[in-house]
Structure 1
Amino acid sequence: MKHTWRWFGPVDKVSVEDAAQAGAQGIVSSLHHLSTGSVWPVEEIEKRQREIRAGGLSWDIVESIPISEDIKTGTGEYKAHIAAWQENLRRLKKAGIETICYNFMPVLDWTRTDLRWTTGHGAKTMRFDLIDFIAFDMHILKRDDAAADYQPEQIEKAAERFKAMSQDDIRSISNNVGAGLPGSTEVYSLEELRTHLRRYAGIDAAALQSRLIDFLSEVAPVAEDLGMRLCAHGDDPPWPLLGLPRILSKLDDYERILAAVDVMANGVTFCTGSLGARAANDLPEMIRKLAPRIHFLHLRNVRREDAGTPCSFYEDEHLEGDTDMVAVVAAVLEEEKRRKAEGRADHQIPMRPDHGQEILDDLTRGAQPGYPAIGRLKGLAELRGIERALSHATHGMK
């Protein structure tokens, strides 16, 4: 695997130099300050590359070129936004960048109710509390028909939880749920969130899936011609939220999209954290089934706090949680070995240690939630250790 590191640009409290010292071999970044649906100026791409090179690394992967709600709903300026997306591919290819991660989650990107929850040993981590989320949906956002999405006992617990919330609690959970893409400064107000939700009235999972296929039918051939790789990140968490459909939550979701636009450029960002929150997902088996089209890996672990789907969960340490990370890395190394035997130029799959708990000096650094320096360094070191051990000649992986 090629070890990469997410960097949010000059505003990031964790520098490129920090990433290099942690053992990263490349950087994952984006132009977060540019508006969704716009064409990225060449000078802005080149500026970001210079900033990364100054720290001793290269910009290897774009995460992400955001996909507008117009594209997801097939309304408004969606055709112009698709054309801009295509042009961005051309410009990034000219700059030497060939791998683009994106997601197709409507309105909300990854969603947590607490961005800095305290673990038993004092670390800070991100958490999704299902009862808190239901309390937000029913009593703070006050979404119409929200009660139809939950069980009676969950509704009762949520009502009790809401009664105990202070105004600070309400503001905190509203900001956490309404946060935009990682790296952006956008936070939806309650009314803005309600407005966005109304845009999806009548759009179910099948309709949203059709929108994704239509989008990929336009952009994947361009990427294929350019020799680029597009990587669809899974839903996080992998179940419907606020009445919005989710369409990349399990194996058959991905298989359907890959078959519908069957070119190598149409691929997968395999996120063990997102997919691992769904108990029925067998991650090593999913890797084996999707292997030829996995272009990027996010390796992290979550601990599910109760049975079933949906559930509460938190971001655990990389080798803890409910995912067998050794089995995951072993499946990845088998795929890399197979690709190398085939002579594929992309036999080395890039990965990044996704998220991480805030520990030690992270607790006072104030970095982007989920993206601490030392917590990710620890995760990367652990993952590299697994990879090195499994790749040793005595294990036959070389």
Structure 2
Amino acid sequence: MTKMTKLALAVLPFMAMSGPSLAQDVTITLQSAFPTSLPVINTIRQFEAEVEAASGGTIQIELAEPGAIVPPFDIQQAVSDGKIEAGYTAAAYLHGSLPVASFFTSMPFGPQALDYMAWFYEGGGLELNQRMYDDAGFDLVTMPLTFTGMESGGWFNSPIEGTNDFAGLKLRWSGLASEVLASLGADTVLIAGGEIFPSLEGGVIDGTEFSFPQVDLALGFPDVASFNYFPGWHQPSTMIELVINRDVWDGLTDSQRTIIDMAARTNAMRSVLRMEYSQAAAVEQMAEQGVDVRLYSPETLDSLRVAWDTLVSEMAAADPFVAEVWDSLQAARTQEDTWDALTVTPMQRP
């Protein structure tokens, strides 16, 4: 927690006597787990500007790049401990110690972006996400800040003709999908985004997933990998969250908390629309650079789906909270599928 934030929180009792709506100045250091120059990720800069403008300058956000203060994968714990006031990160980075966290970032064969958003905002996902952190002892508040649609399905230097081809490969994969691939014989590792390019270039890893085509292109993956597969079975949509230290959050006024919440919701919609609009051109550019853009075979996708169904069933049987989260997601998807059956098919393009 910065000195300015501590001072602002210390004077709260005195300010409260002057009126409950009187806003205090606060500076929030917000470290990102991702380079803020990346496409769509860069919407966090608009979030920053909107919070400062809407608050009349009473909230100042100081953005820090990955690793500037703490390692990218340590952001939630650092926010909880008060080392930084806030973070922009993915819950799935806690997968090793808290496997249920991945359900709040993405999951294999999961919902599309708008359906995922609907579950968070209307179907109880946000409350379950907060409960996960509370139960695990984190002293923070979470809310969605970015949603994206389907990612690239994977970058490789050899073709993937079937699931047997994953066996023996060292792959940079994250979250629940890493366990799916591990069950098929892959050696999966998690490394930060900035380390992927040199790892592929040096042969440390044989393949990777990271993001959607526009980001993968910006990171230079076409220069170090020959094949890019689709669809992104492992991550049909993604939620990247804002986490704020609980004491900092409680020290804000109601209006300041509302401003942050509204700006986060605006950014969530902005990000998914910007991502959706820009990917076809990025794929075309990758193909022009010599990338072999391919589709996974139906048989490969079927095998991956079977492996995922087995994994999630085992996780739900072993952990009641995983079962609750999974049941909540499935209930939301059933409602969405029922509506889609009445609306999507009749409206398909000829």
Normalising to structure 1: TM-score of the pair? 0.25
More helix by share: 2
Normalising to structure 2: TM-score of the pair? 0.27
Looking at both structures, which has the greater relative contact order when contacts are Cα pairs under 8 Å and sequence separation is at least 6?
2
